[in-house]
């Protein structure tokens, strides 16, 4: 799992930053990418990124402000031109269907793949998507329009097979290894039963990434970020513009850091930076946030962040309260 930031600006493009779009690289896990928001010019950013648009599987829209959706019609057309023929799903607040269908109809665009649009308007946290690998939860935030945050939870992975222990019993690598790794008990020719649990290490907890839309500080932001490996949070303003942030339902870098600290998030990434912060001035945002949350990163266009795998669970971990 890796985050790749295609755009990190707020409101409109600037010389240093395009508007919002973040990729979650899941090539190792399922050979696809998931995208979060698609501001104007996102497909141009992809041309300069190690990203294959044909492998884009899902797009999660946080809210319907233009700097988060204006790039979507062009992205969808380009995906078709570049060999994307697998199903593509768009998730977002009510209104995203009308926006997409209207843009494609008026422009007479024809896509070479199946598109599914999932709209929602829930007022509490809910499970948006789940399969055998991931759970995606969403919850409403506090903004001028309906805005949502997403929590992507990787499900626990099976522990590692202890091949050395099996070899000590004289069992060579082969079909029995596969059965044990699947959790099946194996009976040897002499009648000995090998319980799989004896030869499989502790499960590996899944990673958690939280990506929020535009928001003021709020309880749902904390809930979505609880014990996350990484929290991606807007930091539109520095603290001396706190009143302006409140007026427009945005957050400061300090607000983001407080949310990360209260949620127990390991890493904080600041994005959605106002164009008023250019060159060295932008470092103020990271410096302010780090007074509260030390492991804070300031995203820039084409910034990438690896989300390290968690360590295997132990009995002590399972007993420890959250």
Closest CA to 214 of 264, 140, 286, 268: 140
The residues assigned a catalytic role are 67
| Residues 18 and 39 sit within 8 Å (Cβ to Cβ) | yes
**Is 255 flagged in the annotation as binding?**
no
Q: How far is residue 139 CA from its own chain's centroid?
A: 14
45's tokens? 């950013």
65 is in an annotated binding site: yes
Q: Give the Cα separation of 6 and 315 in Å (integer).
A: 40
Q: Directed axis angle between helix 72-81 and helix 96-106, to 10°?
A: 60
Q: What is d(CA 263, CA 268) in angstroms, rounded to the nearest whole number?
A: 11
Distance CA 43, CA 80 (A): 13
Residue 302 annotated as binding?
Answer: no
143 in a labelled binding site: yes
**Nearest-5° Cα angle at 20, 14 to 47:** 80
The owner of tokens 């797009």 is 59
Annotated binding site: 63, 65, 67-68, 143, 214, 272
Annotated binding site for Zn(2+): 63, 65, 67-68, 143, 214, 272
């Amino acid at each position: 799992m890796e985050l790749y930031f295609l755009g990190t600006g707020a409101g409109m493009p600037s010389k240093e930053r395009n508007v919002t779009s973040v990729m979650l690289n899941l090539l190792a896990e399922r050979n696809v990418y998931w995208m979060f928001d698609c501001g104007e010019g996102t497909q141009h950013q992809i041309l300069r990124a190690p990203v294959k648009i044909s492998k884009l599987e899902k797009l999660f829209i946080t809210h319907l402000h233009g700097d988060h959706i204006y790039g979507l019609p062009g992205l969808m057309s380009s995906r078709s031109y570049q060999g994307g023929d697998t199903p593509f799903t768009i998730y977002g607040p009510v209104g995203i269907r009308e926006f997409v269908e209207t843009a494609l109809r008026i422009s007479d665009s024809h896509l070479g793949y199946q598109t599914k649009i999932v709209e929602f308007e829930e007022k509490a946290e809910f499970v948006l998507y789940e399969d055998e690998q991931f759970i995606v939860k969403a919850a409403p935030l506090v903004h001028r329009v309906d805005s949502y945050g997403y929590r992507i939870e990787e499900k626990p992975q099976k522990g590692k097979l202890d091949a050395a222990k099996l070899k000590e019993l004289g069992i060579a690598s082969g079909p029995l290894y596969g059965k044990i790794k699947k959790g099946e008990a194996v009976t040897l020719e002499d009648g000995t039963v090998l319980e799989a649990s004896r030869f499989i290490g502790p499960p590996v907890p899944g990673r958690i990434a939280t990506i929020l839309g535009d928001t003021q500080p709020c309880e749902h932001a904390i809930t979505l970020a609880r014990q996350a490996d990484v929290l991606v949070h807007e930091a539109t303003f520095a603290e001396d513009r706190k009143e302006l942030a409140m007026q427009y339902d945005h957050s400061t870098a300090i607000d983001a850091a407080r949310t990360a600290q209260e949620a127990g998030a390991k890493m904080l990434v600041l994005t959605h930076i106002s164009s008023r912060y250019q060159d060295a001035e932008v470092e103020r945002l990271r410096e302010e946030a780090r007074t509260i949350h030390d492991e804070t990163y300031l995203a820039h266009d084409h910034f990438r962040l690896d989300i390290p795998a968690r360590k295997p669970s132990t009995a002590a971990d399972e007993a420890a309260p959250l």
